[in-house]
Amino acid sequence: MELLKNKTAIITGAGSGIGESIALLFAENGAKVVVTDIDEDGGNRVLKAILKTGAEAIFVKSNTASFEDNQRVVTEAQRAFGGVHIAVNNAGIGGAQAPIGEYPLESWDKVIGVNLSGVFYGMRSQIPAMLEAGGGAIINMASILGQVGFDYSCAYVAAKHAVVGLTKNAALEYSAKGIRVNAVGPGFINTPLLSNNLPQEQLDQIAALHPIGRLGKPEEVAELVLWLASEKASFVCGSYYAIDGGYLAR
Ligand code: NAD
């Protein structure tokens, strides 16, 4: 079934991991996909994979921490496909690991810039376009760390908590105008964000924190995001949806 037929969807950070899986699943479901990423190689790789299936897509290189780039993404989407109906503000980074008293200031600024301001700049650019298109759906990528803390990750934890708050506010302001806004909170998912930064021993320890006994897969997160983006979730707005193998149940 094509759940997103005739919809145009912007996905930030779609050149890898969770964003890549969302982009591929959205395309499979009939969406015209606007792949965006700061990484040109990753973005073009995913674009090629989508075009190969016969679906429509474009790649727009964009730094999500730049308001101007977010605006350009929307303009390019409108130019290519006539409007914007769905946005997934997914781009994110991990940042340094250190206690707050020693946390590197530049890492704080970078993580807040990408993981929090990036989501605000995204919605700030996408919402006017969605109003013009007659409504839409936004999914912001939070984390289990938008609900609980995690040692030595203060910037990430603060940004993801703030994304949940920002999501609630956007829902208050725009639900009655036809834009549903929700946040998704994955547990630890096996993507380059984890595998490039942590040794296998630590990955095993992290997997054990999930009652289900393993890390999540990006494809599993994409299924939830697809549902939230689709009309099947027509009464869902302003919510945080955990997809975490039971992590938050402890
Ligand atoms: P990933 O590293 O595989 O992919 C992230 C993508 O974002 C990359 O393609 C990267 O180039 C892009 N990106 C980074 N900075 C950018 C910027 N400034 N502008 C545009 N693009 C940028 O990571 P992932 O695991 O797929 O993470 C995707 C999202 O999911 C992030 O917001 C992350 O915080 C969140 N998340 C991940 C996990 C996990 O365990 N992997 C858990 C919870 C939440």
pLDDT of residue 161: 99
Average pLDDT score over residue span 76-80: 98
pLDDT of residue 48: 98
Where does ligand 1 bind, in terms of residues with CB under 6 Å?
12-13, 15-19, 37-39, 42, 62-65, 90-93, 114, 141, 143, 186, 188-189, 191-194
Average pLDDT score over residue span 32-38: 99
Catalytic residue, candidates 103, 121, 156, 174: 156
Contact (CB, 8 A) for 133 and 83: yes
CA 112, distance to chain mean position in Å, is 15
Instruction: Indicate the average pLDDT of the chain.
Output: 98
pLDDT in tens, 141-177: 999 999 999 999 999 999 999 999 999 999 999 999 9
CA 160, distance to chain mean position in Å, is 11
Place of tokens 């549903």: 180
Percent of the chain with pLDDT over 70: 100
What pTM was estimated for this model as a whole? 0.99
CA of 187 to the centre of ligand 1 (A): 13
Using pLDDT thresholds of 50, 70 and 90, give the confidence band for residue 196: confident
Contact (CB, 8 A) for 240 and 142: yes
CA of 17 to the centre of ligand 1 (A): 7
pLDDT in tens, 210-240: 999 999 999 999 999 999 999 999 999 999 9
pLDDT of residue 155: 98
pLDDT of residue 198: 86
Residue 240 annotated as catalytic: no
Average pLDDT score over residue span 1-6: 92
Among 18, 62, 117, 212, the mutation site with the greatest number of ligand 1 atoms within 8 A of its Cβ is 18
pLDDT of residue 1: 74
pLDDT of residue 118: 99
Taking 90 as the threshold, does the pLDDT of residue 127 lie above it?
A: yes
pLDDT in tens, 86-113: 999 999 999 999 999 999 999 999 999 9
pLDDT of residue 197: 83
Taking 80 as the threshold, does the pLDDT of residue 56 lie above it?
A: yes
Average pLDDT score over residue span 199-204: 93
From residue 67, how far is each of 58, 63, 72, 73, 100 by CA, in Å?
20, 9, 9, 10, 28
Burial of 53 (0-12, 13-18, 19+ CB in 10 A): exposed
Taking 80 as the threshold, does the pLDDT of residue 134 lie above it?
A: yes
CA of 141 to the centre of ligand 1 (A): 9
pLDDT of residue 45: 98
